[in-house]
Structure formats: structure tokens, C-alpha cells
């Protein structure tokens, strides 16, 4: 995929969130698209919303990866610890 493809994916995900803000998967898809475009803060925010809608192991792992990219090692470890509690 090219950077333009990632931007298109982000635009599509953003439209989905606006159309159906109660759908957890829309926030997950937008978080992934934000990560791919390098917008880690927005990805973190979307994963946080998705977690509030229905926490699970993978969401905490994904957010931990974002926290690592943001140099938030303490937060990363907290999310990984929480992810283990779901197993």
C-alpha cells in the first residue's frame, strides 16, 4: 500500500465513525489507519474509545504498541499487564 492508500483508508474509517459512532469496529479500523499514517496520538485515542466500548486482550495489546511508539513505556507495560488479565 502507498501512503495515499493509507490516507484513503483513514478517510473511509473517519466517515464510518461519523456515520456509526456506536460501532466499536469503526474506531478500531480508524485507529489502525491512524497508526499507518503515523498519527499515533489519534490511534491511541481511538483505541481508548474502543476499549471503553468493550475491552479485550487484542485491543490492549494494540494500544500498548502505540504507547511504545509514543515512548510511554509505563503505559505500555500497564496495557500489556491488563491484556494478560483477559486470558
pLDDT in tens, 33-63: 999 999 999 999 999 999 999 999 999 999 9
Provide the angle, in degrees to the nearest 10, between the axes of the packed helices 57-69 and 40-53.
160
pTM over the 0.85 mark: yes
Structural domains of the chain, ranges and CATH numbers in brackets: 3-85 (1.25.40.10)
In this structure, how many other beta carbons lie within 10 angstroms of the beta carbon of residue 39?
Answer: 16
Provide the greatest CA pair distance for the chain.
38
CA distance 39 to 27: 14
Instruction: With a cut of 70, say whether residue 1 has pLDDT above it.
Output: no
Amino acid at each position: 500500500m502507498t501512503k495515499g492508500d493509507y490516507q484513503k483508508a483513514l478517510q473511509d474509517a473517519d466517515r464510518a465513525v461519523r456515520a456509526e459512532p456506536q460501532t466499536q469496529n469503526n474506531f478500531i479500523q480508524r485507529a489502525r489507519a491512524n497508526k499507518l499514517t503515523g498519527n499515533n496520538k489519534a490511534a491511541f485515542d481511538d483505541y481508548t474509545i474502543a476499549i471503553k466500548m468493550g475491552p479485550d486482550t487484542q485491543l490492549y495489546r494494540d494500544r500498548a504498541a502505540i504507547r511504545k511508539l509514543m515512548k510511554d513505556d509505563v503505559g505500555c507495560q500497564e496495557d500489556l499487564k491488563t491484556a494478560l488479565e483477559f486470558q
